[in-house]
């Protein structure tokens, strides 16, 4: 008998459409939570960004409703929904939910077990709390960009993934929510979670920050082995113009790599600062003699810590990912069939067949509000007046 999903029975009301909170909602849904996306009705739909149909795994496994939170009946409908919820996830500017009358204090009066998670760029308080921002800003203020390699003009590069949104915000929020749910199971009390994306990135940067605080050192590009100081931890171009990642930190792995490249003379000089340019040139010359995949075939299984730098188009056909069921078939009524990243994190339940995706133009409003205790007449009146959709 298959065990139920880890978060089976947990209901999450989610106001987000994009960004860190949407990443968090995706994680919770893939662990089995019942996530209800709450958007604005058509007359107010311009206040929220609508992502592409494929984004955030196309909201698979989620329900949807539209409620005008500025309308008295809309607020009342939301509070009815929140009475039966376990988690509320929002990403408005600090203070907005309180002004709307749907903040933590308003909700906890009717549901003292609620875990209310507010995600924002810089947190709910502090001198920067009301700054607007996006992923790049949070990576900037928390030191990530300055510790990353440089462009030709000397500036930090733009990362290839939204690390602040996904890890600093989304995973940060998910971890906090799961911990709060465990505490609530013991104590019966919910709590308010102030998730700052910038704080999350600071946590990711703790190795470098703690070094500075303890020693006065100023980490940056090339400061240590993890930021490019040594040739054993770098990127090299193969003969076909494709790239290889080399991360031979341990002396044994570095020695294996040198032997495989015919460069045994460099084994004693792994951390010799005065010889790193020479080692890099020697490595680059050697890697340039063969195509990337030929090198990977020989080196990756030989304890050298070598792996290909895959493009997105390459990784979706990577044999390792495919063998682990990393991609799933999805079916959308209007968009047809396409592949997407499956519920991939440990403990998530994989679908046995194609995943049926919800149509964003269709809502589950009637059923959700009826289950929350509203009458058919109340729901019909609110729909007619444009309060819900």
Query: Whole-angstrom Cα distance, residue 211 to residue 225?
Result: 14
Query: Whole-angstrom Cα distance, residue 238 to residue 285?
Result: 9
Percent of the chain with pLDDT over 90: 92
Query: Whole-angstrom Cα distance, residue 116 to residue 331?
Result: 33
Helix (H, G, I), strand (E, B) or coil at 300: helix
Helix (H, G, I), strand (E, B) or coil at 33: coil
Given a cut of 90, whether residue 361 has pLDDT beyond it is: no
Give ∠ CA 45-355-61 in degrees, rounded to 5. 45
Given a cut of 70, whether residue 47 has pLDDT beyond it is: no
Listing from the earlier edge strand, what are the strands of the sheet with 233-237?
Answer: 233-237, 243-247, 306-308
Q: What is the DSSP letter of 97?
A: H
Reported confidence tier of residue 360, pLDDT bands at 50, 70, 90: confident
Residues 195-219: tens digit of each pLDDT: 999 999 999 999 999 999 999 999 9
- Give the pLDDT of residue 6: 97
Residues 98-127: tens digit of each pLDDT: 999 999 999 999 999 999 999 999 999 999
Q: What is the mean pLDDT of residues 79-88?
A: 98
Task: Please report the domains of the chain, with CATH numbers, ordered by start residue.
Answer: 11-203+359-384 (3.40.50.10540), 225-309 (3.30.1540.10)
φ and ψ at residue 32, rounded to 5 degrees: 105, 0
- Give the pLDDT of residue 3: 84
Could you tell me whether strands 115-120 and 233-237 are parallel, antiparallel, or unpaired per DSSP bridges? unpaired
Q: Are 143 and 209 in contact (CB under 8 A)?
A: yes
Listing from the earlier edge strand, what are the strands of the sheet with 191-196?
Answer: 63-66, 34-39, 11-14, 87-90, 115-120, 191-196
Quick one: tokens of 36? 């209800």
Is pTM beyond 0.85? Reply is yes
């Amino acid at each position: 008998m298959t065990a139920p999903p880890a978060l089976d029975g947990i209901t999450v009301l989610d106001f987000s459409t994009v960004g860190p909170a949407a990443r968090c909602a995706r994680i919770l849904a893939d662990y089995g939570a019942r996530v209800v996306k709450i958007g604005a009705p058509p007359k107010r739909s311009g206040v929220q960004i609508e992502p592409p149909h494929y984004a955030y795994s196309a909201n698979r496994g989620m329900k949807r409703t539209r409620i005008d939170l500025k309308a008295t009946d809309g607020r009342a409908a939301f509070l009815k929904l929140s009475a039966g919820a376990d988690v509320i996830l929002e990403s408005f500017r600090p203070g907005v939910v309180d002004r709307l009358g749907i903040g933590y204090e308003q909700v906890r009066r009717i549901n003292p077990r609620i875990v209310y998670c507010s995600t924002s760029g810089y947190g709910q308080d502090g001198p920067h709390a009301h700054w607007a921002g996006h992923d790049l800003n949070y990576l900037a203020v928390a030191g990530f960009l300055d510790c990353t390699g440089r462009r030709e003009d000397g500036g930090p590069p733009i990362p290839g993934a939204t690390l602040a949104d996904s890890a600093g915000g989304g995973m940060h929020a998910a971890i906090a929510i799961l911990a709060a749910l465990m505490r609530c199971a013991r104590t019966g009390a919910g709590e308010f979670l102030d998730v700052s994306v910038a704080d999350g990135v600071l946590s990711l940067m703790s190795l470098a920050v703690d070094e500075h605080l303890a020693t006065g050192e100023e980490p940056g590009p090339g400061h240590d082995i993890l930021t490019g100081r040594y040739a054993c931890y770098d990127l090299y171009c193969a003969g076909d113009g494709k790239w290889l990642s080399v991360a031979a930190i341990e002396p044994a792995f570095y020695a294996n790599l040198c032997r495989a490249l015919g460069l045994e003379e460099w084994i004693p000089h792994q951390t010799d600062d005065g010889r790193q340019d020479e080692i890099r040139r020697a490595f680059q010359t050697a890697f340039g003699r063969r195509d990337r995949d030929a090198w990977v075939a020989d080196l990756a299984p030989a304890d050298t810590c070598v792996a290909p730098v895959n493009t997105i188009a390459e990784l979706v056909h990577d044999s390792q990912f495919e063998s682990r069921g990393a991609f799933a078939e999805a079916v959308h009524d209007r968009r047809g069939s396409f592949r997407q990243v499956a519920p991939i994190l440990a403990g998530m339940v994989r679908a046995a067949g194609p995943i049926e995706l919800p149509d964003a133009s269709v809502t589950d409003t009637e059923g959700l509000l009826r289950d929350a205790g509203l009458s058919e007449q109340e729901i019909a009146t609110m729909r007619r007046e444009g309060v819900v959709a």
